[in-house]
Structure 1
């Protein structure tokens, strides 16, 4: 049996999220304008390729457990990281839309598998009192990937589009190899009853809360930079700075929120996180002050991956000790998040195409978050005797 130390495993899982979400998803957003300008794709086709990654992510979240059982989680994670590296390398030349769609879908699928398996493989090997911190470090990879893509892409794109795809592929390959020997053997017996996790009404509610939270993150994740750059005529440079603030928040958010969960309990931190997001997204719908919008980018950036270790911690609180059931519940919860995110991305894009205005998008995001908070408070009142 191969037993790397818990922190070595945590670093491997951090690298996996950096590749799976940080680069596979977030490095694509800044590529969209370049793909259009260089004439590889029309604007609408480039946007659909972004959506292909989200659709793949949902498929990955749903198939992760089966894949983990078939290959073993450690091998599945190695294969998925390798698949993402390949997805960048094979897109280095202009090719038909279908070719790019398949590979963007594949990279999203790999990201969904990584999101479900990496943390649930590593966290059982981390001491109980440090699991929130370790979970935070793992999901910090998402923020690091967003910051890296915001920083590196202008430099890479100056060398040309093909060079950029190859460089990103090699970067992913490097992280794949760095993570390779850090995965622990899986200690979870797959014999856990798959139906068990959904009997608890609090877990079912948590899936809905997480989906609504995902919807509420979309305005900042997808539209804020465009709002600042074009909507407020502040230009691409100011928009890029806003994205940098978002990435900075995404790097520190998971670690801070994971640590708070270790101290105060994840249910309490989840309620605080939802209340804060309602206020921040609500404020963004009513202001065009660049300072406030920059602050909201930093705060919502911190919650975008930061809410992940909080909800994972909540799943572990509701299913203490049963790692198999935790993985089942986490897979379904991640799928709910993917659905909420996809609904937000498509739904709000449609609203934007109709309304041609940004404030309604943030208002709808705030409503989704307020519903999530209301549901969490109702469920908590029903189960007052159970763990807070």
Structure 2
């Protein structure tokens, strides 16, 4: 189990809303991989069944390592810096799907998106727990609802773009761009939180 100190209750502030925004943006950014990845690999990149299966093996391997990776980064850097690293790499993971010059890019995209989705869920949730203590259940429920809502709206949006004939490359770039905006505001609103804040001792594992 993860060692924690006694939870305390804090007033909800801009830090929570910043975490909420970037978490919702990750729900949007995840959609192209969750909906269209197989079709993209098979019909756009024309990969054979072996390479498609290998991409999914890497995706599953990444998913299995997600929470452990988030834990290790948080132990080393603290929650906020770890979150910034994870979300930044997530942008790259989504974007490199459009780089079809080498199969390495799709393999990396598969592995990293598989890893980063559970990683950011785990660490965002735990950071909210340590920051807001007794209010965690309510605040995490709000975050989960926001994630689900954005995922629904995003799914409809990407499906519409697909119907209108927009390329997969544009959709991956759009997903990366939205997550990039969410990550930028996280950097801005937590720029002083990474090194010193009232809960610094509580936020490290």
Give the structure 2 partner of residue 360 of structure 1.
Answer: 170
Instruction: Verify the 8 A CA contact 2:99 2:105 in the aligned structure 1.
Output: no
Distance in structure 1 (CA, Å) of the matches to 2:87 and 2:143: 17
Instruction: Verify the 8 A CA contact 2:45 2:100 in the aligned structure 1.
Output: no
Matched, 1:351 2:161: yes
Matched, 1:128 2:4: yes
Distance in structure 2 (CA, Å) of the matches to 1:232 and 1:283: 13
Instruction: Verify the 8 A CA contact 1:261 1:313 in the aligned structure 2.
Output: no
Alignment of 1:286-301 (within 5 A): 286-301=99-114
Matched, 1:374 2:187: no
The CA deviation string for residues 206-227 of structure 1, in whole angstroms up to 9 with x for no partner, is 1111000111112222222210
Q: What SS does the aligned partner of 1:240 have?
A: helix
Instruction: From the superposition, tell whether residues 127 and 382 of structure 1 become closer, same or farther in structure 2 (CA, over 3 Å).
Output: closer
Instruction: Verify the 8 A CA contact 1:211 1:340 in the aligned structure 2.
Output: yes
Distance in structure 2 (CA, Å) of the matches to 1:288 and 1:342: 32
1:328 to 126, 138, 141: 138
Q: What SS does the aligned partner of 1:355 have?
A: coil
Give the structure 2 partner of residue 209 of structure 1.
Answer: 22
Unmatched tracts of structure 1, length 5 or more: 1-5, 7-125, 130-187
Give the deviation of 1:251 after TM superposition.
0.7
| Structure 1 stretches of 4+ moved >6 Å | none
Distance in structure 2 (CA, Å) of the matches to 1:291 and 1:367: 22
Q: Which has the larger radius of gyration?
A: 1
Instruction: Verify the 8 A CA contact 1:281 1:365 in the aligned structure 2.
Output: yes
Distance in structure 2 (CA, Å) of the matches to 1:246 and 1:342: 22
Instruction: Verify the 8 A CA contact 2:61 2:111 in the aligned structure 1.
Output: yes
The CA deviation string for residues 18-58 of structure 1, in whole angstroms up to 9 with x for no partner, is xxxxxxxxxxxxxxxxxxxxxxxxxxxxxxxxxxxxxxxxx
Q: What SS does the aligned partner of 2:176 have?
A: helix
Instruction: From the superposition, tell whether residues 199 and 253 of structure 1 become closer, same or farther in structure 2 (CA, over 3 Å).
Output: closer
Give the deviation of 1:284 after TM superposition.
1.7
Distance in structure 2 (CA, Å) of the matches to 1:239 and 1:345: 23
Instruction: Tell me the number of residue pairs that the alignment of Structure 1 and Structure 2 aligns.
Output: 197
Give the deviation of 1:383 after TM superposition.
5.6
Instruction: From the superposition, tell whether residues 245 and 369 of structure 1 become closer, same or farther in structure 2 (CA, over 3 Å).
Output: same
Distance in structure 1 (CA, Å) of the matches to 2:149 and 2:49: 30
TM-score if structure 1 supplies the norm length? 0.47
Alignment of 1:72-111 (within 5 A): none
**Higher-RCO chain (CA-CA 8 Å, sequence separation at least 6):** 2
Give the deviation of 1:246 after TM superposition.
0.9
Distance in structure 2 (CA, Å) of the matches to 1:197 and 1:211: 22
Instruction: Verify the 8 A CA contact 1:225 1:240 in the aligned structure 2.
Output: no
Aligned-residue CA RMSD (Å): 2.5
Instruction: Verify the 8 A CA contact 1:284 1:296 in the aligned structure 2.
Output: yes
